Amino acid sequence: MSARKQALLKQHRRQKRIALLVALVLLCLLGVFAAWWWVTLLLLVGWIAHEAWFADHLFYAPDDDYSYEFAQDVPALAGRIEAGRLSLDGDIGAADTLVLQVQLKASWLGRWLDPYVLIGTDRQDFERGVDGRRYLNLSGQQDALVGGTLQLRGCFCRIEPAVALFALSNPDYAEQRLMMIAPHADDAELAAFGLYSRARDVSIVTLTQGEIEAETYQALKLDNAAAARLKGRLRAWDSLAVPLWGGVPQSQCLQLGYYCLQLPAMQAQPEAAFASRESGEGDIRSVRAANSIQLPGDADGLPSWRNLLADLVAALEHFQPEVVVTPHPQLDPHSDHVASTQALLEAIELSSWKPKTLLLYANHLHDNDRWPMGPAGFGIALPPAIEALPADGVWSPGLDAARQLDKAMALAMQHDLQGALPLKRRIRRLIQRLLVGRRWPATGEDEFFRKAVRRHELFWVRTLDG
């Protein structure tokens, strides 16, 4: 996927350069034959149009089909949408997660405004100009569906009448022993606060300090290294303290103290130590003092892959999780996220304790940095999957309004999600609010307050052998 994204990114930048060059030539010609203020006006109008309609990072065509496969034992029920109501040829049984495959086609307005589908009391948004196969999340709508009262209506898009429903049945994983793998402080909250805040027995293992990109703290008259050290300390504290808001005591949380964006390098040279790129530190013990158990990496404090694996093995054997929640290695492209799950899988091979299930999450995407699209508080449709993914299960537990608010407050406590937006992004939001009708929540300015606080959380279910 990374190679495909890089190719799309190069194509996007090339097309943008060509468009800018053509616009520059036209403006130069206009400057010769018209008054100078026309050039200024057109430049302003062009910039506003870019911010309103062309600033999204979408690295696939809106008419690409999403590609999902489900296991052969997952019931697939044919259905139709007639007079705005969904009817099925069959019974969903005791399924807890419902995924509806539909064909969407944007109207002409849907090329300029965000198209979305109203599903009973829910709303799920899609790409402007959408024209292809998409997957709606109907989880939590079982009663209306069975009663024949579930209404679906496209806004700025048309839904083809023929649909297919995949009815997936899962246990309630909150009733099993859970371990959260968080590459950085806030990843556990973004992906699974709703899940872990109601879990019977949960542990949270955060792998890195999260010390890089500390420019905000340089305003405190700190140099680059000192600002990074402060940010690392604060985010390490976040990883241990914020889970208490979700009912997880500090004794169930571990901060391993490795360094941001160094996990792939550690993996490539397992015996070598990789210090922080920005803080100047190279001893992971600097943020481990509050951990409730001794870990192998405490012996020498070296930020190495060998120590990371040993620490994860110790955590697995101490907490003995039946289920581990970890980033999706195919969907989530962040290098630390990919390396975290790969480290977990290696550690499971080395450990005497073997979890039964992985729940995979994606806090970032290769192809669309607005997913989940649409306003906060609504559902999560399945994300873009232009290339085939493994045929995993899907589990999408619901969050009521009170738990959504608690999740938003947990995010608000995270230092990396605080602070005002840069001026350019504030202006872009104002333009998009006025011209496109986009809305952001009052709970926080960071984009994750819109993307992560939803009526669903979404996990891919992968059973482990042995």
User: Per-residue pLDDT tens for 79-127?
Assistant: 999 999 999 999 999 999 999 999 999 999 999 999 999 999 999 999 9
Which pLDDT score is estimated for 31?
61
Bigger pLDDT: 127 or 26? Answer: 127
pLDDT, mean of residues 130-146: 97
- Global confidence as pTM: 0.93
Which pLDDT score is estimated for 442?
96
Which pLDDT score is estimated for 4?
58
The DSSP call for residue 384 is: P
The DSSP call for residue 456 is: B
Is residue 1 predicted with pLDDT exceeding 50?
no
- Residue 450 CA, distance from chain mean position: 11
Which pLDDT score is estimated for 35?
62
Rounded Cα distance, 84 and 374, in Å: 21
Top mean-pLDDT range of 19-23, 32-36, 306-310, 416-420: 306-310
Encoded tokens for 13: 């930048």
pLDDT, mean of residues 208-221: 95
Which pLDDT score is estimated for 379?
97
Burial class (CB in 10 A: 0-12, 13-18, 19+), 306: middle
Tens digits of per-residue pLDDT, 66-76?
Answer: 999 999 899 99
pLDDT, mean of residues 179-206: 98
Report yes or no: 412 and 444 within 8 Å, Cβ to Cβ.
yes
Which pLDDT score is estimated for 45?
84
Tens digits of per-residue pLDDT, 31-47?
Answer: 656 666 666 777 788 88
Helices 36-53 & 423-435, crossing angle to 10 degrees? 80
Is residue 406 predicted with pLDDT exceeding 80?
yes
Tens digits of per-residue pLDDT, 354-398?
Answer: 999 999 999 999 889 899 999 999 999 999 998 889 999 999 999
* pLDDT tier, 294 (very low <50, low <70, confident <90, very high otherwise): very high
Is residue 19 predicted with pLDDT exceeding 80?
no
The DSSP call for residue 346 is: H
